[in-house]
Each structure stands twice: as C-alpha cells, then as structure tokens.
C-alpha cells in the first residue's frame, strides 16, 4: 500500500548510510518494502542517488530522502541526523552501513589512509549512533541501531588490520552500547555479511568463491536487508548486543578462500561449477 494513502506519521523512519550501492541498496529495498520511510546517505553524485530514490518511491512509495555526505568529516554525522530529523521528525532505525576497506599491508599504508579508514569505519558510525539515539531517547522511541560489521571482524586476513580491526571494534562497542541503551528500550545489534555481491554484473550463484562457501553461493544484498529488517522488528524484541553473521557458513571451516586448485579446499565441501 502506498504511504500516500495513509497518515505518514505511522510509518517508521530508517536512516541507512551508504544506501545507494551494494549492501546498502539492498537494505533500503527491503526496509522500504517493509514500510519504512527511507533516509540514506551517499558519498558522491557518481553514486546515482537520484535514480535510486525515484525507484524506491515508484516501487514502494517510500518517501526517500537522500543526503550527499562525507561522514569522515568532523561534524558531518550530526548534520546528517539533524537533517533527517528536520525532514521526518524522528529516526526509528539507524543502519550504519557505509564503509570501505583496503587489503594493503600496514607497512604500505600512509598515515592519512589509516586515519581515513578509522574515521569512516569506526568513528562515523559511533558518532551517528550517539546523535540518533539521543533523538530516540528525547522522543521516547524504543528504536534500533544496527552496525554492519563483517566476518572479517572475527577472522583475520593479511592486509586487513585496519578495516577488520574496526569491524571487531564495532562488535565490542555494540555490547557496551546495548547495556547503556537497554533502559530506554533501544536495542543495538551487529549484522556481519560474509562474501556478498556488490556490483550489478555479479551473480551470487556463479561467482567462483561461491563454490567454496558451505551453502554454495555468495550472499546477496537482500540477504543482509532481510536480516536487518528482522532484527529491527518486534519478532526480535528480546535480542540486543549480538553479532549476527550472514555468511552462508563461510568462516566455519577455516578454509582458504583462494579459488585456485593449488590452494586446496580446507575443511569445506567444494560445490560443482554451475552451468
């Protein structure tokens, strides 16, 4: 049912950072389908936010609101929260999805690169959560905060000391924040994707790494979106402070993820190639 046919105040508001591409795009689609009004951030005009918000409005009547934002800049997270509150008057769900990684060894990273990744992958979601939750407490909203982490927050990889380290830090911080916010009825959880398709020309069923994942394929953005929506719903009302891994069993066997035959197959089952 289109939101325009009913009082929009009854529809909850979700703020999704990095909401135009990849996993963020899938999360926005699922939340819009579930009845959320969508606010989203994107980093540059190249992210094609205009066509995506038109798509959300056309399909779901989701009343989308897109903000271009560099969340690594001081003061920017507060500006984003203030803009969403001015537009919609409330935030019921914050999904901290924006992030970026590199697979460079630490010795090859410039200090500026390290500081930038820490700002985007850890500081920005923490500060956004501070202001979003403050608004929930002020309005008496028993909302939710989700951190999109990663299986890389639990499993170490070479070249992943900063991104993986920041995802691990979010998981740890989430537990403390769950305790701080529980008296207000506000829940916070982490959703940890494994290997997930991000580009439109990728097929989760035929990507080579999918053969080595126990469930036989890569994840999709909608897999992550459905987990986010469920954790934010009343069906998960007794869950807070967890890290929910959505990875098809990827890191359970401890298998090497190199798809070449000489890498071996670890402890996992190797699926046959798709036709």
- Catalytic site residues? 163
Cα torsion 147, 199, 109, 119 to 10°: value is -30
Tokens of 241: 């402070």
3-class DSSP string for 139-176: HCCCCEEEEECCHHHCCCCCCCCCHHHHHHHHHHHHHH
Query: Which of 9-44 are b and which e, b meaning 16 or more Cβ less than 10 Å from the residue's Cβ?
Result: eebbbbbbbbbbbbbbbbbbbbbbbbbbbbbbbbbe
Say which residues have a Cβ less than 8 Å from residue 58's Cβ, sequence separation at least 6: none
Query: Other CB atoms closer than 10 Å to residue 90's CB: what's the count?
Result: 17
Distance CA 146, CA 96 (A): 6
Short-list 122, 124, 95, CA closest to 227: 95
């Amino acid at each position: 049912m289109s939101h325009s046919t009913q009082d929009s105040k009854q529809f909850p508001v979700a703020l999704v950072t990095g909401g135009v591409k990849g996993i963020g795009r899938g999360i926005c689609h699922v939340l819009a389908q579930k009845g959320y009004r969508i606010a989203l951030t994107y980093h540059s005009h190249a992210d094609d936010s205009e066509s995506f918000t038109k798509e959300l409005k056309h399909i779901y009547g989701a009343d989308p609101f897109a903000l271009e934002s560099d969340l690594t800049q001081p003061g920017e997270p507060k500006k984003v929260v203030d803009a969403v509150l001015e537009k919609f008057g409330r935030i019921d769900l914050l999904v901290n999805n924006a992030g970026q990684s590199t697979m460079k060894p630490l010795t090859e990273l410039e200090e500026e690169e390290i500081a930038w990744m820490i700002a985007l992958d850890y500081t920005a979601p923490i500060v956004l959560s501070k202001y979003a939750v403050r608004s929930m407490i002020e309005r008496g909203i028993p909302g939710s905060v989700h951190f999109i982490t990663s299986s890389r927050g639990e499993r170490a990889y070479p070249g992943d000391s900063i991104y993986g380290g920041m995802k691990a830090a979010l998981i740890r911080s989430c537990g403390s924040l769950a305790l701080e916010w529980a008296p207000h009825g506000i829940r916070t959880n982490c959703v940890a994707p494994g290997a997930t398709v991000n580009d439109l020309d990728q097929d989760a069923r035929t990507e080579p790494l999918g053969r080595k994942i126990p469930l036989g394929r890569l994840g999709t953005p909608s897999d992550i979106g459905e987990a986010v929506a469920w954790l934010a719903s009343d069906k998960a009302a007794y869950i807070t402070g967890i890290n929910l891994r959505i990875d098809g069993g990827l890191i359970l066997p401890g298998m090497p993820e190199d798809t070449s035959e000489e890498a071996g197959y670890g402890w996992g089952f190797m699926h046959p190639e798709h036709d």
